[in-house]
């Protein structure tokens, strides 16, 4: 009895009209899929290490070199500095130079450290975000 | 044959022919949208959720192994999406518990519904079921899914799915019975 009724109900329900979405539904879905594919391809082809990273690294190297020069000036570096610029009478110039960097103190080192840390964080963030986008 | 068709297109999509996915969308858009609409009760939300379900299915297509029916897999994605959405919005299934299920509801004779109005009656009765009941009835009676497949789609246990389906069917009969009585009173 119940089986027969089930069959009847099945027959009745099979005639049921389903709700229909807007006529451009499938076009919209496919457009979204193509957009996602395009974005994915862009991410795949994008370089993980962009220009920003290399600028940071370059700044770090420059600041590191500056710090190196300053520290040499501090420990009998007058002669080293004179070696670097042998042709120039350096006494007045180097005094001004030295006092300027004494005032600066360890500023360049701190900035270099911050830049290095930032570039590392940028690299890690870019690396993981590109990986997670590819997985999805 | 139908299942073979699905697999055929899915393989093509997996092999890079993305545009073949439109076949899948065209084929299942009505049922996916109907489930979403019944659960979310808002056409715009339902359309958005149905789109999201297809996109999610496309993105996870590589995980579809073909051991179950593709439709079951798609309905599970749709149903889970909609449930997550109503949880996010802190909405709940519209309760139909105020409909008192009559003990004699199973004795209701479907042939008693006038043939010319059958579709209208069935549609109206289905509208009164809540999202979960509607989905169960739709999958079992309209989509011919087995209890096992329904369990996969809805994450219900087999016994729970059977009980809920039985209850939904009784509710459907009760609603139809009431509607017929009302119609009769109007005529008299």
pLDDT in tens, A21-39: 999 999 999 999 999 888 8
Confidence of residue B159 (pLDDT cuts 50, 70, 90): very high
pLDDT at A135: 46
pLDDT at A97: 64
Q: What are the chain B neighbours of A8 within 8 Å (beta carbons)?
A: 110-111
Same domain, yes or no, for B74 and B142? Answer: no
Same domain, yes or no, for B36 and B81? Answer: yes
The shortest CB-CB distance from B21 to any of A2, A19, A33 is to: A33
What gap in Å lies between CA A90 and CA A85, rounded to an integer? 8
Give chain A's domain count: 1
Q: Which is more confidently placed, B182 or A97?
A: B182
Same domain, yes or no, for B29 and B72? Answer: yes
The complex's ipTM works out to 0.77
Comparing C-alpha atoms, which of B17, B6, B155 is closest to residue B79? B155
Query: CB-based contact (8 Å) between B50 and chain A?
Result: yes
Environment class of residue B29 by beta-carbon count within 10 Å: exposed (0-12), middle (13-18) or buried (19+)? buried
For chain B, give the number of residues. Answer: 188
What gap in Å lies between CA B71 and CA B145, rounded to an integer? 9
- Tokens representing residue A126 in the block: 């870019």
Q: Is residue B96 part of a domain?
A: no
Are B119 and A22 an interchain contact pair (Cβ–Cβ within 8 Å)?
no
The shortest CB-CB distance from B58 to any of A9, A13, A33 is to: A33
Query: CB-based contact (8 Å) between B71 and chain A?
Result: no
- Per-residue pLDDT, averaged over A84-103, amounts to 62
Q: Which is more confidently placed, A43 or B151?
A: B151
Q: Is residue B93 part of a domain?
A: no
pLDDT per residue over B6-49, tens digit each?
A: 899 999 999 989 999 999 999 999 999 999 998 888 899 999 99
pTM above 0.80, yes or no: no
Same domain, yes or no, for B107 and B179? Answer: yes
Question: Which residue range forms the structural domain that includes residue B26?
Answer: 2-88
């Amino acid at each position: 009895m119940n089986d027969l009724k089930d069959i009847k109900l099945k027959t009745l329900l099979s005639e049921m009209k389903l709700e229909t979405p807007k006529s451009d539904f499938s076009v919209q879905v496919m457009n979204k899929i193509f957009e996602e594919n395009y974005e994915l391809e862009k991410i795949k082809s994008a370089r993980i290490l962009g220009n920003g990273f290399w600028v940071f690294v370059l700044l770090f190297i420059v600041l590191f070199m500056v710090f190196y020069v300053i520290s040499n000036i501090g420990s009998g570096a007058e002669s080293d500095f004179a070696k670097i610029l042998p042709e120039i009478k350096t006494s007045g110039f180097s005094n001004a130079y030295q006092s300027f960097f004494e005032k600066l103190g360890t500023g360049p080192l701190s900035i270099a450290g911050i830049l290095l840390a930032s570039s590392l964080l940028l690299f890690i963030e870019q690396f993981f975000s590109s990986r997670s986008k590819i997985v999805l | 044959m139908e299942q073979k068709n699905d697999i055929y297109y899915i393989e093509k999509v997996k092999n890079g022919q993305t545009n073949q996915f439109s076949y899948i969308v065209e084929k299942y858009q009505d049922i996916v949208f109907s489930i979403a609409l019944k659960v979310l009760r808002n056409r715009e939300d339902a359309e958005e959720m149905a789109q999201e379900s297809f996109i999610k299915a496309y993105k996870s297509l590589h995980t579809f192994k073909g051991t179950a029916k593709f439709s079951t897999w798609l309905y599970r994605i749709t149903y889970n999406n909609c449930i997550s959405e109503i949880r996010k919005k802190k909405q709940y299934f519209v309760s139909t518990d105020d409909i008192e299920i009559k003990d004699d509801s199973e004795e209701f004779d479907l042939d008693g519904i006038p043939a010319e109005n059958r579709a209208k009656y069935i549609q109206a009765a289905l509208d009164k079921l809540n999202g979960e009941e509607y989905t169960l009835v739709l999958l079992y009676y309209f989509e011919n899914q087995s209890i096992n497949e329904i369990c996969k789609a809805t994450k219900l246990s087999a016994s729970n799915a059977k009980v809920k389906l039985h209850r939904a069917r009784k509710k459907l009969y009760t609603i139809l019975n009431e509607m017929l009585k009302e119609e009769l009173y109007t005529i008299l």
